[in-house]
Structure 1
Amino acid sequence: MDKKILLIGRNPSVLTNLASALINEGFVVKATSVIEQASQDFNAIDFDVVAFGRGVDAATNTMLKASFLSQNPAILFVDGLAPVISLLVKQIKLAIAGKSVAEKVITSFSYEQTAPLRINVSTRIDCQLTIDLYQLDAIHTTQQKTIVSKFIKAGNHIFPVDAFPDLTSTINFLVAEANNLDLAILQLQ
């Protein structure tokens, strides 16, 4: 049976593009930008996952989750961490795969704005680590650059980045991915 996903967000173009990407992955998708009415317009019993965009404020997010849980206690939630379609697809697929917090590979992920910029990552197991920079402009066109791609041992790691790209884009995210099992996302300030 195909997994059914409800997308809730403020940006119609992101919703449309994400829905298309998920449909291409074999999911059944509904989407709404009428956020405050989502739990009245849709019943969580009809879905496996409800995914929220970053434009859904914390209070509305909490209210909707409570309402959806009362409709379907088994519903899964995904809080979109970045308006990047490929990352949102990965987040949703990880949620459906049932990756729990106890199974997290990346135990900490941070950066220090020093010269050079330092990226700090801790992992629970040996893994293939990829750290990418995603840069979005005002119309959500995305540029991606790989900063780190290497096999690392479990533990704490520091990656100095001498030739860090210009951060004049509207929104910039650092994304760490381990073994296609875990994803950590930081917005650069």
Structure 2
Amino acid sequence: MSAEYASYTSFGLAPATRAGGVLADGGYQVHRDFLDFIIDGRPLLFQLADLDAVSPLAADVPPAIFIDHVRRLLLEADAPLADGRYVIYGCPECEALACGAVTAVIEHSEDDAYVWRDFAWQTDEHADLGLNGYHGIGPFRFRAEEYRGALRRLLEAEETSDGSAARRRVLLVGARAAVLAKLAAALRIIGIGAEILPADGTFDIPPDELRTYGAVAFGRAVTEAQRAVTRGEFERAGVRVEYVDGLAPIVPLLVAQIEQALGEGQFTRHRLAGLAVIEGEADVQVTSTCRVRLTAYRLDRLHRARTHEVYEGVLEPGSHRIALAPGAVRGQAFLVARAPGAVAVTPVR
């Protein structure tokens, strides 16, 4: 065995972001959330100076394409480029190789290790290692158990054991791009896949992709006609999903609504049996002893989001009344209750 391959390198994955923004010429830079490769505890992207790129494991790609990328990294699918080369980082704006990509050869060695070697900047079918090779990067040799484990967990999150979609995934339909991007990022952090469909965009999602969603969340600016189009596409695909009408452009509140819609807060199965606001008090019903946290969200007169922690403590089985401070629920207000494995949301009338 070559000395350069003698030692192992640790392998992992971690969430990363390529921030969006408005450019000086008035153009836009796309916001992208993706998983970066963590090698020996350090993001690989940080070792590539001044590189504006994302890995193929981006959160906003369709599930089928995401799974294809994972299987390629596992060497369960053919290399997309000549000479056994795989894309490690690509253009954040598009998938065109002409924009440039960091590629590498990925191999499975005889002693059951995965090797990444011969990193290069590539803009056409063949890489020129002499001219565009990253000579100070790699080769990296990963233990098969650690490498496979990190990547297979992604497949398990995308698919159930029978191969059908796990459906912890939501389609976000709205007009406020900034709110949708923040919401999508927050959902992905807690393990809920999210994709964005602009309210004024064309609905062109294939039926196979529709079957991967468990919920659709509509922003308040989405018209009834646009909602009808979305519902009609899911009905034609034979897909039953939960529909969420966003209560307010407050990200933690919207996250809670989506969690509840996806089944995290189903009252018949979880510790939270009910949540309501009655005569200025929160009425919380629990089925077993558990810690409950109540948080109030509201929009003030300038439509700024305000948050108030109302209560946190252990409640016994039964119904409990908890006073709500008037300042916490003034104007457009909403209450979120959280218990282990459960969340419930209600507007404050």
Which TM-score bucket, shorter chain as reference?
Answer: 0.7 to 0.9
Structure number with greater CO (CA < 8 Å, separation at least 6) is 1
Aligned residues: 180
Letter in 2 for 1:187: P
How far off its partner does 1:101 sit? Answer: 5.1
1:104-141 deviation line (CA, Å, top 9, x unaligned): 4322222233xxx3221112222211111112246764
- Structure-2 residue corresponding to 1:165: 327
Using the alignment, how far apart are the partners of 2:316 and 2:217 within structure 1? 34
Q: Does 1:175 align with 2:330?
A: no
1:55-111 deviation line (CA, Å, top 9, x unaligned): 2467764663353143253x6435145332123334445655766553143222222
Question: How does the TM-score come out when normalised to structure 2?
Answer: 0.43
Match of 2:253, SS?
Answer: helix
Gaps of 5+ in 2: 1-154, 159-168
Root-mean-square deviation (CA, aligned residues, Å) is 3.3
Runs of 4+ in 1 over 6 A off after TM superposition: none
Using the alignment, how far apart are the partners of 2:207 and 2:300 within structure 1? 34
Using the alignment, how far apart are the partners of 2:237 and 2:342 within structure 1? 29
Letter in 1 for 2:322: F
- Structure-2 residue corresponding to 1:8: 173
Using the alignment, how far apart are the partners of 1:48 and 1:143 within structure 2? 31
Using the alignment, how far apart are the partners of 1:10 and 1:142 within structure 2? 18
How far off its partner does 1:186 sit? Answer: 1.8
Using the alignment, how far apart are the partners of 2:271 and 2:225 within structure 1? 30
2:346 corresponds to which of 178, 183, 186: 186
Which entry has the higher C-alpha Rg, 1 or 2?
Answer: 2
Letter in 1 for 2:342: D
Bigger drift between 52-61 and 83-92 goes to: 52-61
2:319 corresponds to which of 156, 177, 187: 156
- Structure-1 residue corresponding to 2:298: 135
Bigger drift between 10-19 and 59-68 goes to: 59-68
Tell me if the contact between 1:78 and 1:91 (Cα under 8 Å) persists in the aligned partners: no
- Structure-2 residue corresponding to 1:79: 244
Letter in 2 for 1:143: R
Match of 1:48, SS?
Answer: coil
Gaps of 5+ in 1: none
How far off its partner does 1:7 sit? Answer: 1.0
Match of 1:103, SS?
Answer: coil
Match of 1:102, SS?
Answer: coil
Cα distance change on mapping 1:118 and 1:167 into 2, 3 Å: closer
Using the alignment, how far apart are the partners of 1:101 and 1:67 within structure 2? 29
1:68 corresponds to which of 228, 234, 241: 234
Using the alignment, how far apart are the partners of 1:63 and 1:101 within structure 2? 30
Using the alignment, how far apart are the partners of 1:104 and 1:26 within structure 2? 19
Structure 1 residues 10-49: aligned runs within 5 Å: 10-25=175-190, 28-34=193-199, 40-46=203-209, 47-49=212-214
Match of 1:165, SS?
Answer: helix
Q: Does 1:106 align with 2:234?
A: no
Identity of aligned residues (%): 19
